[in-house]
Amino acid sequence: MDFNFDLESFFNATSPKTSKKEEKQKPEKKEVKKASGGKDIDVTLPVTVYGRNFKKDIGGEGTKPLSQIARDLLNEGFMEFMIPGIGLIFNEKNNAIYVTDNAVNPLSDKSQVFTKEDQVITVSDGEVRGEFSPSDFDKDFDEITAKEFAQKWAEINPTYEGCGIAVNKNAAFPTLSKVYNLKTGKEIEIIVNGEAVRLTPEKAVITEALKEYIPEGLAITLVGNNEKAFVSYVSLKKGDGFYPEQLPNSSAKVKTNEVEKKYPLPVTLRIVTWNTEYELTPEMFGGKEKVTESEITKFMAERERLFADKSRKVDMLYSKEHNLLSCMFLSGKKGAIAGTAYQNVWLDETDDEDDAVHRGIFKLIRSKTELEKCFNTTYYGNYCGNMAENDDRCMKLLSLPHGVFLGHYGKEYEGSTIKSLEFKRKLPLIPVNILDEVVEFFESELPNEACVTVIYNKKTEKFSVIKAKGRCGTCFIEYDYSNASELLCDPSIITVMMIHSHGSGNAFFSKLDDADEMYPGVFGVIGGLGKIDTPQMKFRARLDGVSCNLKVTDLFERSGNVYD
């Protein structure tokens, strides 16, 4: 195997030693030396960062030091940069940065992991992340060993079976320090920058297949087990890279001089994500004639939970012609992640899932006739009670362009959340070719998960699919619709449903999905892709954290194909 390994130079990747004579000849040092070795050099933007489980493009102009790029990645959730031994190597030939991890020292199997009972440790390997606390284990915090911690992580992410774990305070990194033996004669799956490549063990095949991933000036090692391995980069030049001792875990925003745009009042706020509207008036904002996006977000956060979720990207587009401010929540997180360790990964610790109520502006309905009219009203939220004589039902009605969400409180209304839910479709059945397109797209993204949104154009009376961008892995998708914000915010567009995949895994709604789907809407999940002839499909409607299951034929046209 002619990868030109130079492990010795990697494990000793510290500042190169110089003789006293050489030191005298270099009175000035242009590069900043770090205590842990390596160089903190400036790189020209844009640049691409390659890790063993991710590839990330960093845009911009000018230059940025490696240390700042490491901090930026840390602030985006790449917690492995808190672990000593993980470094960055800059390769001038292709203007790219490579993450090294071979110098990470794992804890011994019997080492204690947690230092206190309420500690939360974030495990991060590029795009794959999760949180663990002592409550996820059936023993006291001071009895949980590194081996048990690593096994718990591998239960949720089987790719890491047999790995160790490196921990620094509240950050952890799965270590795959075992160099893979290519002479086992078995086919293996190699993860290169987050992409899975299945290869036979012949040297020539592997060399050729991975050639495009190995730029000049770098070598690689394969670390993992007998079925899966990761590519880890090695510097061929001593001291060529930045190896931080530890980066400060700071998420402080960079201050800018940009003036926030203001919108005139009154204005109609159209929430595209769940197809409803608010009329914002000066009285709601203390008589102001113009308000900023931040002021609107703060006002709406008291009425709609999603506005309080700072982890999501939000886009607001203003139409002067229609005096319409369209608001779209562009991002979120879904995935086939199960288990208590992930229950609150994407929620603030203070959040209460039972408190996820769509408050809206509700009107009291006092008659059955009035109730029937509401079913056909667009953008209308209602609280229902005492509708007719001898009718003691208490319900919550949310009638949106794509359907009616009817929540039942039960016979005794106590001001609590709804107990059950019904969903009545308003739009025509979706052509089955739309579902075919979704399945084909999900299969093309294997082994990773993917996400789409189905929309309906009121003018053309046609359905179409918008494919999400964003970071993804075999058990998660951090979806992002920034590429389609203008289309989604078009007043002619109705958001019909969001569907995501679980790859070849089972189709089910995980706790991560529940945490993401807290707003009124229709959602789907498709699994068994590439594994079985007929993919598994599950659909549901959601309101106030309560769900009702929907059949494929409740939403899509019957066609006699495999989905029926």
- How confident is the model over 367-413, as pLDDT tens digits? 667 667 777 765 454 444 444 444 556 777 788 889 988 888 766 55
CA distances from 310 to 30, 46, 277, 379 (A): 40, 27, 21, 25
3-state secondary structure of 410: strand
- Residues 417 and 474: their CA atoms lie apart, in Å, by 35
- For 142, the token pair is 């001071």
Residue pointed to by tokens 């920034």: 482
Q: Which residues pair with 424 in a beta bridge?
A: 404
- For 37, the token pair is 């070795």
- For 167, the token pair is 């921990």
Domain shared by 81 and 183, yes or no: yes
CB 163 within 8 A of CB 176: yes
Q: Which residues pair with 64 in a beta bridge?
A: 43
Last residue of one domain, picked from the residues 187, 220, 235: 235
Domain shared by 23 and 163, yes or no: no
Domain shared by 82 and 214, yes or no: yes
- Residues 103 and 410: their CA atoms lie apart, in Å, by 60
Least confident of 90-99, 254-263, 473-482: 254-263
Q: What is the pLDDT of residues 104-127, one digit of tens each?
A: 888 888 889 998 888 989 898 887
For residue 28, is pLDDT > 70? Answer: no
How many separate domains does the chain show? 3
pLDDT of residue 33: 36
CATH number reported for the structural domain that contains residue 438 in this entry: 3.40.140.10
- Residues 214 and 2: their CA atoms lie apart, in Å, by 11
Helical segments of 157-283, H only = 203-210
Residue pointed to by tokens 């230059």: 63
Q: What is the pLDDT of residues 221-242, one digit of tens each?
A: 666 666 667 777 776 665 566 7
pTM: 0.54
Residue pointed to by tokens 């009175």: 27
Q: Is 269 among the domain residues? A: no
pLDDT of residue 284: 93
Look up the domain containing 28 and give its range: 7-104+177-235
Torsions phi, psi of 296, nearest 5?
-65, -45
Q: Is 24 among the domain residues? A: yes
**340-375 core/surface letters (b: 16 or more CB in 10 A; e: else):** ebbbbbbbeeebeeeebbbebeeeebeeeeebeebe
- Residues 364 and 5: their CA atoms lie apart, in Å, by 73
